[in-house]
Amino acid sequence: MYWTLEFAATLEDAPWPATKDELIDYADRTGAPYEVIQNLEEMEDDGEPYENIEEVWPDYPTQNEDFYFEDDE
């Protein structure tokens, strides 16, 4: 399982909190890339809903991080 920013971004607008099955359904309905659905299927499922994208992919950059730095030079 591997996540990229592009893959994870497809889940930003998911109906949080959401279970694994709900996320898979959402990804399928919104036309997310196959890799996103495959990653979701590989996640552990304890029956508890995921509260946000950071619980799915802990390395997802937040607004506080300087992920998209602008180069003024």
Cα separations in angstroms, 11 against 31, 47, 73: 11, 19, 33
Q: What is the pLDDT of residue 11?
A: 93
The label of the residue with tokens 């992920």 reads 67
Q: What is the pTM of this model?
A: 0.81
DSSP 8-state symbol, 48: P
Bridge partners, 18 (sequence order): 50
The label of the residue with tokens 């694994």 reads 20
Q: What does the pLDDT profile of the chain (73 residues) look like in tens digits?
A: 788 888 988 998 999 999 999 999 999 999 999 999 999 999 988 889 999 999 998 888 876 555 455 555 5
Q: Using only the alpha carbons of the chain, give its radius of gyration.
A: 13
